[in-house]
Amino acid sequence: MQRMRAAILAVGSELLGPDRLESNSLLLVRTLRRYGVDVVRKSVVADVVRDIRRELTALLEDVDLVLVCGGLGPTADDVTREGVARAVGRTLIEDAAQLEVLRAKFAHFRMRMADTNLKQAEVIEGARVLPNPRGSAPGQLLEIPGKAAVFLFPGVTRELKGLMKTELEPWLEERTDGEEVETRVLRVACVGESTLEERILPAYDEFGREAVSVLASAGEIQVRVTAAGYAQERASRLESMTRRLRELIGDSVYSGEPDASLEQAVGGLLTRLGRTVVTAESCTGGLISQRLTAVPGSSSYFLGGVVTYSDQLKRELLGVPREVLEEHGAVSPEVVGWMASGAKKSLQADYALAVSGIAGPEGGTASKPVGLVYVGLAGEGDPEVKELRLPGDRDRVRWMASQWSLDLLRRELLRNDSDPGQVPGRG
Amino acid sequence: MQRMRAAILAVGSELLGPDRLESNSLLLVRTLRRYGVDVVRKSVVADVVRDIRRELTALLEDVDLVLVCGGLGPTADDVTREGVARAVGRTLIEDAAQLEVLRAKFAHFRMRMADTNLKQAEVIEGARVLPNPRGSAPGQLLEIPGKAAVFLFPGVTRELKGLMKTELEPWLEERTDGEEVETRVLRVACVGESTLEERILPAYDEFGREAVSVLASAGEIQVRVTAAGYAQERASRLESMTRRLRELIGDSVYSGEPDASLEQAVGGLLTRLGRTVVTAESCTGGLISQRLTAVPGSSSYFLGGVVTYSDQLKRELLGVPREVLEEHGAVSPEVVGWMASGAKKSLQADYALAVSGIAGPEGGTASKPVGLVYVGLAGEGDPEVKELRLPGDRDRVRWMASQWSLDLLRRELLRNDSDPGQVPGRG
């Protein structure tokens, strides 16, 4: 079978401006690749009927599949439906069922439906409506014999993701023969990129350079292994590669799930062990508690936290002694130790994470420069405190501090775990 | 003079993969806009002669200027020169002078020049060579009367930047007469896109549809106005358009700065008024305090906050009475009112924001569905509490709750402000 050729067309004048890059295509490419579909071109055009029509007319002759994203909203410049209809010489029809769905959605959220929303119920003659429960405009699929199939997707990433799962993947599955290219991801926290590269050097030789790739971001690395072929052969090859990589990298691997986050890994361990955690934050200002609670179901292990920006609140809410604050300053291992112990005691949890540091851009001194952060953990014994020197701007320093803090707890939980075989980070 | 229309074509198979986005176009767009050139499309094609030829053939008829980036290197898959030559029906000629430049470069770095490098001296018949001292392949400029002008640039950003300065800008300057284009942004919080569209409808008529554009994301809208012309006329036009839009939109406009955030606007008002704020969060889990403290210098007005996920901590840290929790439940206007008052009192600030809600995906009931959120504000009098019904997943509900909460405080601060002329949101 010849490989299917696809094109991605993003519609949106804002994507032609100086501030924003189209990025939905990365998601689409990932899925298409899995089904052995080649993406041969990507393009961005403005919210202009003529431009959409022109572009699509050319694509319809050149590729087998066109994925159009964006321009399905209710405003005057949402003209994707019209542009596509023109390219295939069809009309737009108001879909009664879709109109009902729209009305119901607005009623549910007690919002008045403006007249402009009516256009979101317009469907290209002959197209199939693709339900989009996450948004107001549905997707559409137009298949004309002898021409490329055309999917119309919303540009909102969350909605696009949903439609990829419910509509695009099943469609692709029907049209491919079971051979897939599959990628597995190991997520690694708080290891430098060059350190990691050194650790996995043997894997490059063993599996081939192109089977392994490394993608680094702040405080986080993704190691990806790829294998092609039919289900079983592919799975066993991926299995042996990831096993070997885990051996080489060690327990810095916190998950083997592509979309897992460090806070999910921590949450999984806390749930498994039946323990609870609280936080006491200064420079991270609530970022750690926000990350912990971003995980659905976190209320079973996260009790609460305090953000103590002022020294007064460090004393009153956490019981940090005035002398300790005066002698060592708020950014010190001593104060972070007290913050952790104080939070554990007054918020009554098994573990307490504490952070204090200088996130910048102001507030640094020669002895306590911007990027100096202490992260602390109070558990059973004395609190453990780590000193960090973090590069980058305020956002990056805060983010890295939250990574190290969560990883401190993750490692402590791993050590206390009697059944490592079932730990998410090692599964 | 009619505005020039440009297209950007990036060549490179690696830009069609799942990990990398083409980003040179942002630089190009910025420069082109300044000279009043509209970028009407961007595309990415693979390193394939046929694809480059096809794409360029279409563009030559459609736009006035094509900027091609990438594929000028020495390797077998660097075929941009060939693809462009085919599109215009010309041959490639080995340029003797360019060959000399290449040889000299290699000699300078004491490297042997491989035969494959010879292709970097190939120039499209009739094209002008654009010297590229930062790399080995020069750029090229092809001008054919009656067709679009075509620039060939290297894909390496550093080299591209150099050629933009030395070749593209002077070329644009010659073709424009000092007229430039400028954009201003109004940032708007907590208004629906269609409501906003209705409010600004008169502006579309008054300024023309294309002068105003709307970019919506969760709980946040950017309204952009654009004006072309000479410096003074442009500035006064932008001034009167933004003034009119502020009139139409009202005090939902929180800033006229393109990169401003709601938390910055709130921080600006708190600083101006010399007031302090604390937070008491449940479903947002620290997101509000994290956002407030993301602003450099926030320690002067943000004292701290508590995240009370458990009922016990709502009682102990905020003094919410047990009877109120039992009678109304944690997600209720009553509890949020108590949380706000309790936080204001025990954390000793001028204002306290409180939030409680059901972020989902679990925990919803018929009477209290996922997305039901109460945001509260304690200031001078009785606490003010607002009920929200927020659509979307957990992340979105939490984000929207933080937006509404910050906006509640912003509006209260605006009301208390005696000098509205200087408020950031109205400047």
Nearest-by-Cβ selection for B18 from A26, A77, A286: A26
CB within 8 Å of A57: residues ≥ 6 apart:
A87
Q: Which residue of B has its CA nearest to A6?
A: B16
Q: Rounded to 5 degrees, what are φ and ψ at B368?
A: -130, 80
Residues in chain B: 427
Element (H, E) at B314: helix B311-318
Tell me, yes or no, if A58 comes closer than 8 A to chain B by beta carbon: yes
Element (H, E) at B31: helix B24-34
Tell me, yes or no, if A297 comes closer than 8 A to chain B by beta carbon: yes
Quote the crossing angle between the two packed helices A311-318 and A333-346, to the nearest 10°: 40
- Interchain CB distance below 8 Å, A304 and B317: yes
pLDDT (tens digit, 9 = 90+) per residue, A304-314? 999 999 999 99
Picking from A264, A289, A291, A300 by the largest number of B CB atoms within 10 A of its own CB, the best residue to mutate is: A289
**Residues 308-367 in A contacting B (C-alpha not used; CB under 8 Å):** 308-310, 312-313, 317, 347-348, 360-362
Q: Which residue of A has its CA nearest to B23?
A: A21
- Interchain CB distance below 8 Å, B312 and A293: no
| B31 contacts on A by Cβ (under 8 Å) | none
- Min Cα separation B147/chain A (Å): 18
Q: Which residue of B has its CA nearest to A57?
A: B58
Half-sphere exposure of B230 (CA within 13 A, CB side): 3
CB B11, CB B49: distance < 8 Å:
no
Picking from B293, B315, B353 by the largest number of A CB atoms within 10 A of its own CB, the best residue to mutate is: B293
Residue owning tokens 């505005």: B3
| B23 contacts on A by Cβ (under 8 Å) | 21
| B362 contacts on A by Cβ (under 8 Å) | 296-297
- Interchain CB distance below 8 Å, B193 and A62: no
A333: left (phi over 0), alpha (psi -120 to 50) or beta: alpha
Collapsing DSSP states into helix, strand and coil, what is residue B145? coil
- Min Cα separation A307/chain B (Å): 5
* Distance, CA of A205 to CA of A209 (rounded, Å): 7
**Residues 12-41 in B contacting A (C-alpha not used; CB under 8 Å):** 15-19, 21-23, 25-26, 29-30, 33, 39-41
Collapsing DSSP states into helix, strand and coil, what is residue A114? coil
* Distance, CA of B266 to CA of B292 (rounded, Å): 8
| A34 contacts on B by Cβ (under 8 Å) | none
* Distance, CA of B8 to CA of B155 (rounded, Å): 12
State the pLDDT at residue B118.
83
Element (H, E) at B370: none
> What is the amino acid identity at position A399?
W
Indicate the fold that domain B183-255 takes in CATH: Alpha-Beta Plaits (3.30.70)
Tell me, yes or no, if A370 comes closer than 8 A to chain B by beta carbon: no
**Residues 160-219 in B contacting A (C-alpha not used; CB under 8 Å):** 192-195, 197-198, 204, 209, 213-216
Collapsing DSSP states into helix, strand and coil, what is residue B368? coil
CATH for the stretch A273-421: 3.90.950.20
pLDDT (tens digit, 9 = 90+) per residue, A290-330? 999 999 999 999 999 999 999 999 999 999 999 999 999 99
Write out the two tokens for B331.
Answer: 């997600």
- Which part of chain A is CATH 3.90.950.20? 273-421
Rg, C-alpha atoms of chain A: 26
pLDDT in tens, chain A (427 residues): 578 999 999 999 989 988 889 999 999 999 998 888 999 999 999 999 999 999 999 999 899 999 999 999 888 889 999 999 999 999 999 988 888 888 888 888 777 777 778 888 899 999 999 999 888 789 999 999 888 999 999 999 999 999 999 999 999 988 877 677 888 999 999 998 888 989 999 999 999 888 898 888 889 999 999 898 777 888 999 999 999 999 999 999 999 998 899 999 999 999 999 999 999 999 999 999 999 999 999 999 999 999 999 999 999 999 999 999 999 999 999 999 999 999 999 999 999 999 999 999 999 999 999 999 999 999 998 999 999 999 889 999 999 999 999 999 999 999 988 655 544 443 3
What's the sign of the alpha-carbon dihedral A157, A159, A160, A161? positive
Classify strands B139-142 and B149-153 as parallel, antiparallel or unpaired. antiparallel
- Min Cα separation B104/chain A (Å): 34
- Interchain CB distance below 8 Å, B389 and A109: yes
- Interchain CB distance below 8 Å, A309 and B304: yes
- Interchain CB distance below 8 Å, A77 and B213: yes
Distances (CA, A) of B90 to B86, B123, B125: 6, 10, 6
Of the candidates A150, A124, A142, A133, the one whose C-alpha atom is nearest the C-alpha of residue A64 is A150
Tell me, yes or no, if A42 comes closer than 8 A to chain B by beta carbon: yes
- Interchain CB distance below 8 Å, A40 and B16: yes
State the pLDDT at residue A66.
98
pLDDT (tens digit, 9 = 90+) per residue, A52-85? 999 999 999 899 999 999 999 888 889 999 999 9
CATH architecture of A180-255: 2-Layer Sandwich (3.30)
Q: Which residue of A has its CA nearest to B277?
A: A309
pTM over 0.90: no
3-state helix, strand, coil in chain A (%, to 5): 45, 25, 30
Question: 3-state SS string over A196-262?
Answer: HHHHHHHHHHHHCHHHEEEEEECCEEEEEEEEEECHHHHHHHHHHHHHHHHHHHCCCEEECCCCCCH
Pick one of 3.40.50.300, 3.90.950.20, 3.30.450.90, 3.50.30.10 as the CATH number of B262-422.
3.90.950.20
State the pLDDT at residue A210.
81
| B299 contacts on A by Cβ (under 8 Å) | 309-310
**Residues 393-422 in B contacting A (C-alpha not used; CB under 8 Å):** 393-396, 398
Collapsing DSSP states into helix, strand and coil, what is residue B25? helix
Size of interface A-B (CB pairs under 8 A): 213
Element (H, E) at B207: helix B193-207
- Which part of chain B is CATH 3.30.70? 183-255
B53: left (phi over 0), alpha (psi -120 to 50) or beta: alpha
Collapsing DSSP states into helix, strand and coil, what is residue A148? coil
CB A352, CB A344: distance < 8 Å:
yes
Cα distance between the two ends of chain A: 37
- Interchain CB distance below 8 Å, B296 and A18: no
Distances (CA, A) of B307 to A141, B179, B283, B318, B374: 45, 54, 9, 10, 15
Nearest-by-Cβ selection for B286 from A77, A289, A297: A289
- Interchain CB distance below 8 Å, B307 and A288: no
Collapsing DSSP states into helix, strand and coil, what is residue A307? strand
Q: Which residue of A has its CA nearest to B192?
A: A111
CB B308, CB A304: distance < 8 Å:
yes
Q: Residue A10's CB: how many other CB atoms inside 10 A?
A: 24
CB B197, CB A75: distance < 8 Å:
yes
Collapsing DSSP states into helix, strand and coil, what is residue B219? coil
Would you list the DSSP string of A322-376?
HHHHHHH-SSSHHHHHHHHHHHHHHTT-SEEEEEEE--SSS---SSS-TTEEEEE
Collapsing DSSP states into helix, strand and coil, what is residue B372? strand
What's the sign of the alpha-carbon dihedral A282, A283, A286, A288? negative
Element (H, E) at B232: helix B231-249
- Min Cα separation A353/chain B (Å): 14
- Centroid of chain to Cα B26: 11
pLDDT in tens, chain B (427 residues): 577 999 999 999 889 988 889 999 999 998 998 888 999 999 999 999 999 999 999 999 899 999 999 999 887 788 999 999 999 999 999 988 888 888 888 887 777 777 778 888 899 999 999 999 888 789 999 999 888 999 999 999 989 999 999 999 999 988 877 677 788 999 999 999 999 999 999 999 999 988 998 988 889 999 999 898 877 888 999 999 999 999 999 999 999 998 899 999 999 999 999 999 999 999 999 999 999 999 999 999 999 999 999 999 999 999 999 999 999 999 999 999 999 999 999 999 999 999 999 999 999 999 999 999 999 999 998 999 999 999 999 999 999 999 999 999 999 999 988 655 544 443 3
- Interchain CB distance below 8 Å, A16 and B42: yes
- Which part of chain A is CATH 3.30.70.2860? 180-255
**Class in CATH terms, B5-175:** alpha beta
DSSP lists the bridge partners of residue B11 as: B45
- Which part of chain B is CATH 3.90.950.20? 262-422
- Interchain CB distance below 8 Å, A41 and B312: no
Element (H, E) at A294: none
Would you list the DSSP string of B36-99?
T-EEEEEEEE-S-HHHHHHHHHHHHHH-SEEEEES--SSSTT--HHHHHHHHHT--EEE-HHHH
CB B308, CB B280: distance < 8 Å:
yes
CB A253, CB A407: distance < 8 Å:
no
CB within 8 Å of B20: residues ≥ 6 apart:
B14
- Min Cα separation A290/chain B (Å): 5
Of the candidates A340, A422, A424, A413, the one whose C-alpha atom is nearest the C-alpha of residue A374 is A340
